[in-house]
Structure 1
Amino acid sequence: MTTSVLVLVGSLRAASTNRSLAEGLVEHAPEGASLRVFEGLGELPFYSDDLEAAGAPASVQALRAAVSEADALLLVTPEYNGALPAVLANAIDWISRPFGNGAVKGVPSAVVGTALGQYGGVWAQEIARRALGIAGASVLDEVFLAVPGSVKRYAELHPREDRDVVEGAAKVIGALVAAHEGAVVPA
């Protein structure tokens, strides 16, 4: 059985180190997992109860369908001003609705990322995990991957060639697979 993992990347920039990190995660997905990066977060309108009441736009419906069809969710986030990028916060808002029964309800979820600073974006990751939990996801708090110094570290190296990423990816994705299969997630 293969666990399908939907990946949401919190940077819209084509040359983003977090986009590269997501590519590395897809490439190094362990056996039993299939990762797909969702394209289109930049097309989502900002969440509004008025838009929701009028019927969710097609871009929102596509995101919700992708989350509903996936077995697990993986957020790949940079850290902007010590916080979560608006594009990911907005995506979480949309997949949490209707509140208490959104597309993300009960979905095993994890958060990883890379950032310029020495801590690798841990603040943004903490915010993302908290928001996902409130939205109803089954968040794996015990596994994460925070890669510091992204600009220098990946100036000439792609994350898929980074041993820390390869090892971290195996741990995080393996935990998502285990959570989906109902196994105990190792710490």
Structure 2
Amino acid sequence: MNTKTVGIVIGSLRKDSFNKKVAHFLTTIAPKHLTFQTLEIGDLPLYNQDFDEEGSPESYIRLRKEIKALDAVLFVTPEYNRSVPGVLKNALDVASRPYGQNAWKGKPAAVVSVSIGNISGFGANHHLRQSLTFLDMPTLQQPEMYLGDIANSLDEQGNFNDAKTVELLTSFMNTFAEWINKF
């Protein structure tokens, strides 16, 4: 099977982010033909169309180039105020511009929402899916992945302490790998 490179976009910038831990864990249980590259989004200035006309910041150019080289994208995000974090929305905007040069276009995607609460980031998950539809990213529909009560689900090493959750996440990553291969 051909190796596929999956970019990971993490919607949390916090140093000890649960989202970063979940993203790392997912890479350890994924099929071996998938390789992963975490995309840095914390250094992106807020999107400004003037940059497209006057010269884009290096971070814009780097992100767009990295995305174009990927085979797929995995989004792992918390929920802020029933939606996606601003840093994630900004990354979507930066890489979809200038108009007509959408770096995200056609990249198969999957979404994992992570929350300390019981609603499990449902709002963020679906708001993100709405943007991904517009960006022309075929997004894995099933299984949906919402991880709630995350503070009590991970051990100190960032591993899930429940075998059923590991089984569910492994199935999710296997299905995502099959999804990527369709494109």
* CA shift for structure 1 position 158: 2.1
Partner of 1:137: 137
- SS of corresponding position for 2:117: coil
Partner of 2:15: 14
Q: Aligned partners of 2:29 and 2:144: how far apart in 1?
A: 16
Residue type matched to 2:125 in 1? Answer: Q
Unaligned runs of 5+ in 1: none
RMSD of aligned alpha carbons: 2.0
Q: Aligned partners of 2:63 and 2:9: how far apart in 1?
A: 10
Residues 95-133 of structure 1: CA distance to partner in whole angstroms, max 9, x if unpaired?
Answer: 212344411001001110210111211110111111111
Q: Aligned partners of 1:44 and 1:162: how far apart in 2?
A: 36
* CA shift for structure 1 position 150: 1.7
Residues 46-75 of structure 1: CA distance to partner in whole angstroms, max 9, x if unpaired?
Answer: 111111222221111111111111100011
Partner of 1:97: 97
- SS of corresponding position for 2:42: helix
Shift >6 Å, 4+ stretches: none
- Quick check: 90-99 or 148-157, which moved more? 148-157
Residues 136-167 of structure 1: CA distance to partner in whole angstroms, max 9, x if unpaired?
Answer: 21222223321111223336562455535533
1:181 paired to 2:143: no
Q: Is the 8 A contact 2:4 2:33 kept in 1?
A: yes
Q: Aligned partners of 2:94 and 2:140: how far apart in 1?
A: 21
- SS of corresponding position for 1:41: coil
Q: Aligned partners of 1:45 and 1:178: how far apart in 2?
A: 35
- Quick check: 7-16 or 46-55, which moved more? 46-55
What is the number of equivalent residue pairs in this alignment? Answer: 182
* CA shift for structure 1 position 169: 3.4
Q: Aligned partners of 2:177 and 2:70: how far apart in 1?
A: 12
Residue type matched to 1:21 in 2? Answer: V
Partner of 2:150: 150
Residues 7-32 of structure 1: CA distance to partner in whole angstroms, max 9, x if unpaired?
Answer: 01010011011110011011212122
| TM-score (normalizing by structure 2) | 0.89
Q: Aligned partners of 1:100 and 1:161: how far apart in 2?
A: 45
Q: 1:169 to 1:70 in 2, by over 3 A?
A: farther
- Quick check: 114-123 or 157-166, which moved more? 157-166
What is the percent sequence identity of the aligned residues? 32
Partner of 2:59: 59
